[in-house]
Protein backbone atom coordinates (compact mmCIF):
# COMPACT_ATOMS: atom_id res chain seq x y z
CA UNK A 1 0.00 0.00 0.00
CA UNK A 2 1.38 3.36 -0.97
CA UNK A 3 2.14 5.61 1.96
CA UNK A 4 1.25 9.28 2.05
CA UNK A 5 2.80 12.34 3.55
CA UNK A 6 1.19 13.10 6.92
CA UNK A 7 0.64 16.74 7.82
CA UNK A 8 0.08 18.63 11.05
CA UNK A 9 -2.03 18.25 13.22
CA UNK A 10 -2.01 14.44 12.79
CA UNK A 11 -1.07 13.00 16.24
CA UNK A 12 1.31 10.46 14.69
CA UNK A 13 3.79 13.34 14.36
CA UNK A 14 3.95 13.46 18.19
CA UNK A 15 3.80 9.71 18.83
CA UNK A 16 6.78 7.87 20.36
CA UNK A 17 8.91 5.92 17.89
CA UNK A 18 10.56 2.51 18.24
CA UNK A 19 14.03 1.42 17.25
CA UNK A 20 14.18 -0.90 14.27
CA UNK A 21 15.49 -4.31 15.38
CA UNK A 22 17.35 -4.63 12.11
CA UNK A 23 17.16 -3.34 8.54
CA UNK A 24 14.69 -5.89 7.20
CA UNK A 25 13.28 -5.95 3.64
CA UNK A 26 10.26 -4.11 5.05
CA UNK A 27 12.47 -1.33 6.41
CA UNK A 28 14.30 -1.13 3.06
CA UNK A 29 10.96 -0.82 1.25
CA UNK A 30 9.92 1.91 3.69
CA UNK A 31 13.16 3.79 2.98
CA UNK A 32 12.56 3.61 -0.78
CA UNK A 33 9.03 4.92 -0.38
CA UNK A 34 10.21 7.73 1.89
CA UNK A 35 12.86 8.80 -0.63
CA UNK A 36 10.17 8.99 -3.32
CA UNK A 37 7.88 11.08 -1.13
CA UNK A 38 10.75 13.37 -0.11
CA UNK A 39 11.55 13.96 -3.78
CA UNK A 40 7.89 14.51 -4.69
CA UNK A 41 7.72 17.24 -2.05
CA UNK A 42 11.07 18.80 -3.00
CA UNK A 43 12.18 18.11 0.57
CA UNK A 44 15.64 17.84 2.06
CA UNK A 45 14.62 15.16 4.52
CA UNK A 46 11.74 13.02 5.72
CA UNK A 47 11.25 11.04 8.92
CA UNK A 48 9.17 7.86 9.24
CA UNK A 49 6.48 9.45 11.47
CA UNK A 50 5.79 11.81 8.55
CA UNK A 51 4.53 8.81 6.57
CA UNK A 52 2.66 7.41 9.57
CA UNK A 53 5.30 4.90 10.71
CA UNK A 54 6.51 5.27 14.33
CA UNK A 55 9.95 3.84 13.61
CA UNK A 56 13.40 5.42 14.05
CA UNK A 57 14.21 5.91 10.39
CA UNK A 58 14.82 9.03 8.33
CA UNK A 59 15.99 9.87 4.83
CA UNK A 60 17.75 13.00 3.64
CA UNK A 61 19.23 14.50 0.49
CA UNK A 62 20.92 17.89 0.49
CA UNK A 63 22.02 17.57 -3.12
CA UNK A 64 24.57 14.78 -2.86
CA UNK A 65 22.13 11.91 -3.28
CA UNK A 66 19.63 10.37 -0.90
CA UNK A 67 20.63 8.33 2.12
CA UNK A 68 18.87 6.82 5.12
CA UNK A 69 19.79 6.45 8.77
CA UNK A 70 18.12 3.83 10.94
CA UNK A 71 18.20 4.20 14.75
CA UNK A 72 20.14 7.49 14.54
CA UNK A 73 21.81 8.99 17.56
CA UNK A 74 23.53 12.35 17.87
CA UNK A 75 26.87 11.65 19.51
CA UNK A 76 28.48 15.08 19.22
CA UNK A 77 27.31 18.67 18.73
CA UNK A 78 29.30 21.82 18.15
CA UNK A 79 28.57 25.52 17.66
CA UNK A 80 25.36 27.22 16.65
CA UNK A 81 23.65 28.30 13.43
CA UNK A 82 20.41 30.17 12.90
CA UNK A 83 18.63 29.66 9.61
CA UNK A 84 15.40 29.29 7.70
CA UNK A 85 13.56 26.03 8.14
CA UNK A 86 10.38 24.44 6.90
CA UNK A 87 8.83 21.00 7.11
CA UNK A 88 6.95 18.83 4.60
CA UNK A 89 4.33 18.26 7.33
CA UNK A 90 3.74 22.05 7.58
CA UNK A 91 3.12 23.09 3.96
CA UNK A 92 4.34 26.61 3.12
CA UNK A 93 5.25 27.51 6.73
CA UNK A 94 8.77 28.75 7.41
CA UNK A 95 10.76 30.42 10.15
CA UNK A 96 14.19 30.71 11.69
CA UNK A 97 15.41 27.90 13.92
CA UNK A 98 18.60 27.81 15.99
CA UNK A 99 20.52 24.55 15.61
CA UNK A 100 23.98 23.22 16.33
CA UNK A 101 26.39 24.17 13.54
CA UNK A 102 27.90 20.70 13.38
CA UNK A 103 26.79 17.26 14.52
CA UNK A 104 28.04 13.71 14.41
CA UNK A 105 25.29 11.14 13.96
CA UNK A 106 25.65 7.38 14.31
CA UNK A 107 23.24 4.65 13.31
CA UNK A 108 22.70 2.05 10.61
CA UNK A 109 22.65 2.74 6.89
CA UNK A 110 20.04 1.44 4.42
CA UNK A 111 21.90 -1.88 4.21
CA UNK A 112 22.05 -2.32 7.98
CA UNK A 113 25.72 -1.44 8.31
CA UNK A 114 27.00 0.87 11.03
CA UNK A 115 27.43 4.42 9.80
CA UNK A 116 28.80 7.63 11.23
CA UNK A 117 28.05 11.00 9.61
CA UNK A 118 29.94 14.18 10.41
CA UNK A 119 27.84 17.08 9.19
CA UNK A 120 28.01 20.85 9.16
CA UNK A 121 25.71 23.70 8.20
CA UNK A 122 22.73 22.63 6.05
CA UNK A 123 23.23 18.88 6.41
CA UNK A 124 23.68 19.28 10.17
CA UNK A 125 20.43 21.28 10.26
CA UNK A 126 18.54 18.60 8.32
CA UNK A 127 19.89 15.78 10.51
CA UNK A 128 18.82 17.60 13.68
CA UNK A 129 15.38 18.35 12.21
CA UNK A 130 14.82 14.69 11.25
CA UNK A 131 16.11 13.26 14.53
CA UNK A 132 13.77 15.67 16.34
CA UNK A 133 10.88 14.14 14.36
CA UNK A 134 11.78 10.73 15.82
CA UNK A 135 11.31 12.20 19.31
CA UNK A 136 7.99 13.81 18.39
CA UNK A 137 9.65 17.23 18.37
CA UNK A 138 8.63 19.51 15.51
CA UNK A 139 10.25 22.66 14.10
CA UNK A 140 7.33 24.73 15.43
CA UNK A 141 8.60 23.87 18.94
CA UNK A 142 11.91 25.61 18.24
CA UNK A 143 11.09 28.29 15.66
CA UNK A 144 11.67 31.96 16.51
CA UNK A 145 8.03 33.16 16.62
CA UNK A 146 8.99 36.61 15.29
CA UNK A 147 10.16 35.05 12.01
CA UNK A 148 7.22 32.77 11.22
CA UNK A 149 5.77 33.32 7.75
CA UNK A 150 3.96 31.70 4.84
CA UNK A 151 5.87 31.29 1.63
CA UNK A 152 3.38 32.40 -1.02
CA UNK A 153 5.63 31.84 -4.01
CA UNK A 154 8.45 33.57 -5.82
CA UNK A 155 8.55 36.90 -7.59
CA UNK A 156 8.61 36.18 -11.33
CA UNK A 157 11.21 38.86 -12.07
CA UNK A 158 13.57 38.82 -9.12
CA UNK A 159 13.08 35.25 -7.94
CA UNK A 160 12.76 36.62 -4.41
CA UNK A 161 10.49 34.70 -2.04
CA UNK A 162 7.09 36.29 -1.45
CA UNK A 163 6.46 36.07 2.28
CA UNK A 164 3.41 36.71 4.39
CA UNK A 165 4.18 37.18 8.08
CA UNK A 166 1.91 35.33 10.48
CA UNK A 167 1.84 34.38 14.12
CA UNK A 168 2.61 30.79 14.99
CA UNK A 169 -0.82 30.51 16.60
CA UNK A 170 -2.66 31.69 13.48
CA UNK A 171 -0.54 29.50 11.25
CA UNK A 172 -1.21 26.38 13.29
CA UNK A 173 -4.92 27.02 13.41
CA UNK A 174 -4.95 27.52 9.62
CA UNK A 175 -3.08 24.26 9.13
CA UNK A 176 -5.41 22.46 11.52
CA UNK A 177 -8.25 23.65 9.27
CA UNK A 178 -6.80 21.32 6.67
CA UNK A 179 -4.77 22.48 3.69
CA UNK A 180 -4.92 19.82 1.01
CA UNK A 181 -1.87 17.66 0.42
CA UNK A 182 -1.99 18.85 -3.15
CA UNK A 183 -1.15 22.36 -1.94
CA UNK A 184 2.04 21.15 -0.31
CA UNK A 185 3.39 19.84 -3.56
CA UNK A 186 2.33 22.77 -5.67
CA UNK A 187 3.61 25.54 -3.49
CA UNK A 188 6.92 24.40 -2.07
CA UNK A 189 8.48 25.12 -5.45
CA UNK A 190 11.77 23.48 -4.59
CA UNK A 191 13.83 26.55 -3.85
CA UNK A 192 13.48 26.85 -0.10
CA UNK A 193 13.13 23.20 0.64
CA UNK A 194 11.23 21.87 3.61
CA UNK A 195 12.31 18.87 5.63
Contact residues toward Zn ion (CB under 5 A) are 87, 195
Considering Cα of 188, then 35, then 57, then 1, what sign does the dihedral take? positive
120 counts as catalytic: no
How do strand 161-165 and strand 149-154 relate by DSSP bridges? antiparallel
| Complex with Zn ion: residue 20 or 87, whichever CB lies closer | 87
If one counts every other C-beta atom within 10 angstroms of the C-beta of residue 65, the result is 8
User: Can you tell me the distance from the alpha carbon of 32 to that of 23, in angstroms, rounded to the nearest whole number?
Assistant: 13
| Complex with Zn ion: residue 111 or 138, whichever CB lies closer | 138
| Complex with Zn ion: residue 131 or 195, whichever CB lies closer | 195
As to burial, measured by CB atoms within 10 angstroms (0-12 exposed, 13-18 middle, 19+ buried), residue 173 is exposed
Output the CA angle 37-39-44, nearest 5 degrees.
105
| Complex with Zn ion: residue 23 or 195, whichever CB lies closer | 195
User: Min. distance of Cβ 85 from Zn ion in angstroms?
Assistant: 8
User: Can you tell me the distance from the alpha carbon of 2 to that of 47, in angstroms, rounded to the nearest whole number?
Assistant: 16
User: Min. distance of Cβ 146 from Zn ion in angstroms?
Assistant: 21
- Which of 85, 130, 160, 169 is an active site residue? 130
Residue 81's alpha-carbon distances to 119, 121, 167, 177, 193, in angstroms, are 13, 7, 23, 33, 17
Give phi and psi for 193, each to the nearest 5.
-90, 130
User: Min. distance of Cβ 129 from Zn ion in angstroms?
Assistant: 6
Output the CA angle 150-130-162, nearest 5 degrees.
15
Name the closest residue to Zn ion (Cβ): 87
| Complex with Zn ion: residue 45 or 107, whichever CB lies closer | 45
User: Min. distance of Cβ 46 from Zn ion in angstroms?
Assistant: 7
User: Min. distance of Cβ 34 from Zn ion in angstroms?
Assistant: 12
Catalytic residues: 130
Amino acid sequence: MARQLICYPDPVLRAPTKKARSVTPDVKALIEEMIELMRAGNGLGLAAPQVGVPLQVFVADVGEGPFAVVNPKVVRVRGEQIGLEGCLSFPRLYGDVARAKAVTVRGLDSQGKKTSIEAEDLLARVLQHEIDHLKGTLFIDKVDPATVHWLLGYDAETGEPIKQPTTLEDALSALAGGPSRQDARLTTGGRVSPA
